[in-house]
Copies of this chain bind each other. A is one copy, B any other.
Amino acid sequence: MARTAGENRTSRLTARGAATRARILRAAAELMYVRGVGATTLDDVRAASDTSKSQLYHHFADKDALVREVIALQAGQLLERQRQRLERLQSLRGLELWRDAIVQRNALRNGAYGCELGSLANELADQNEDARLALAAHFTTWQALLAAGLRRMRDNGALRPEADAERLATGVMAALQGGYLLAQTARDTTPMEIALDMALDQVRAYAVEPGAAGDQA
């Protein structure tokens, strides 16, 4: 209901109104990522997006509405990036490149802030059931992209038939999320690199190439 109303309202926006809405949303997403959702007030968002109170409330009824759209924005951007990489995944080398891209992105900020979706999930999952359900669905989508890539690797012979793509995808995703948290706390991506390498070792354990299983450091 709320979503439909929001979409109707969006469709009636002028170009200028749409630009204002996008500016508010970008500012809110940035603040909530860097400071956390709880520490971000609507006044902060208003100030950061250089909008008036009436503009803000015209586009977003309340903080929950803004949080809902921030989740959609962050998930949309993250899943689009992940889709581009993971839909082409078909080899262990490809999986290593996926790992490298994530680590490098995180190294740019010395591990700070963590995962765009993971940090929202940590803060919102127990407070806001709509947010939890949305975030759970986005994690499912993300993990399904990874699982599909691993199934492709199994189907093209890079992994042995007994490799359980769903199970491996869950393990890699947990290693990624745990790695983000340890890197955020240590302000150092090293634990994230180790965690991902160890999870990738579990994928390598199913590699068809002889000697590839479990020997990588």
Q: Which residues does A use to contact B, with CB under 8 Å?
A: 34-39, 112-114, 118-119, 121-123, 125-127, 132, 135-136, 139, 164, 167-168, 170-171, 173-182, 184-187, 191-192, 194-195, 197-199, 201-202, 205, 213-214, 217
Contact = CB atoms under 8 A, between A and B. Distances in A.
A167 B112 CA distance: 22
Contact of A135 (B178, B179, B185, B217): B185
B34 A126 contact: yes
17 contacts: A114-B122, A122-B181, A122-B184, A123-B123, A132-B185, A135-B185, A136-B187, A139-B186, A174-B175, A174-B181, A174-B191, A174-B194, A175-B175, A177-B177, A178-B179, A181-B181, A201-B202
B35 A185 contact: no
Contacts of A121: 181, 184-185
Given A38-B39, A135-B185, A205-B214, 14 more contacts: A38-B123, A118-B181, A121-B181, A125-B184, A136-B185, A139-B185, A167-B198, A168-B198, A170-B198, A171-B199, A173-B178, A174-B178, A176-B178, A178-B179
Contacts of A185: 121, 125, 132, 135-136, 139
B182 A175 contact: no
Nearest to A192: B174
A183 to B, nearest CB: 9
Q: Is the interface of A mostly helix, strand, loop or mixed?
A: helix
B171 A127 contact: no
Given A35-B126, A113-B126, A173 B184 contact: no
Given A122-B114, A175-B175, A127 B186 contact: no
B213 A202 contact: no
Contacts of A194: 167, 170-171, 174
Q: Across chains A and B, which 8 residue pairs bring their CB atoms closest together, nearest first? A: A38-B38, A178-B178, A174-B195, A174-B178, A171-B198, A177-B178, A122-B122, A170-B194
A177 B182 contact: yes
